[in-house]
Amino acid sequence: MVLRTSRPGRIVFAGGGTGGTVGPGIAVAERLAEIEPSIEIIFLCSDRSVDRRLLDPGGWDHRTTPARSPGVRPGAAIRFLRGWHGTRRIARTVLDPADGCRVVALGGFVAPPVVREAIHRRVPVDLLNLDAVAGRANRWIARRATRRFTAVPSDLSNVGDAIGVPLRRAALPDGPASEHREALGLRPDLPTLLVTGASQGAASIDRMMIELVARHETWFAGWQILHLAGPSMLDELIRGYSEAGVPAVVRPFLERMGDAWGAADLAITRGGASSIAEVAASRTPAIVIPYPWHEDQHQAKNAAVLAKAGAVLVRTDPVRGPAATPPLESSLAALLQSGERRARMFEAFGPVPVDAATEFARTLVEG
């Protein structure tokens, strides 16, 4: 179904459950508020805490939905169906074509029931695909959306050229490294290794770092570590760094990721689309450790362009088996010890990426 588009009076962002879906929506919403303040902005998100941690600081109007991922087991299937119908009921309260409403679908399990309700109510839908390998939700939405956009080169058809990943203002460095380090309680004069598992943390990376500093504490001489971890690993990480004598600041989720990237000389990170875009925007040499259990390995594909340029290294998570450990450890040791190698990676980033959030916001305003 092709719906007529026009200048919107309300934009409803549908997505949630990870920072990688909510964050780009906030980035676009920030620019919309600057370009056309009269447009009403509403987020339909999940009931996971990560969504509130991102949305609350900016005061964004949002509705929590009961949406759930689909599953084949009876209990999961029942929860999915209940969540689907409950999310449609909530969407119904904010989707009114008479208000010049349109939906921006960000992917993930929240978006499909919102899209279904939007189509039922003849509200236009724009899909913003955020991964190189589109997930099931985005493939479903793409067949029904009024317009389709992709942030990165993707396997989706009929989406046009990649527009770039929208990044929140808070995810971008905005000052010298010393200021960002001081803001995080780090020493302003020490080179800094950032370790991050993105918005939900990464237990396998956390455990890898505990083992590394215990066995190879000399590698980290002259360095300090900023480690962003899941809540369950905080105490163990603090204890591990302390026992190894490695200066470290360990924190949970950080809303102002721009401080983390601005502080870093080197990073270890997952390969979600937003994480890779933040690496590129901050020009931070990085070792990318893709999430190990995605069948399509889309996080490795997200990092492929930067890896080919020489700006990042992609290494397998050690949780996949002992063969993954030596290549990862040797890469990290070499980068910690060689400023020349890090400088070459920095130069490999090329031009500063365009402000995708602003460009996409303008597209939405134009209708």
pLDDT of residue 1: 44
For the domain covering 10-163, report its CATH number.
Answer: 3.40.50.2000
The answer to whether 193 and 333 have CB atoms below 8 angstroms apart is no
Cα dihedral 344, 132, 202, 27 sign: positive
Reference 45, options 19, 8, 71; nearest CA is: 19
48: exposed, middle or buried (Cβ count in 10 Å: 0-12, 13-18, 19+):
middle
3 has pLDDT over 60? no
**Residue, of 322 and 260, whose pLDDT is higher:** 260
Helix (H) or strand (E) holding 304: helix 304-309
Mean pLDDT of the residues in the chain: 93
Hey, which of 1-10, 246-255, 291-300, 337-346 has the most confident mean pLDDT?
Answer: 337-346
Class of domain 171-347: alpha beta
Mean pLDDT of all residues in 245-265: 94
Range(s) for CATH 3.40.50.2000 in the chain?
Answer: 10-163, 171-347
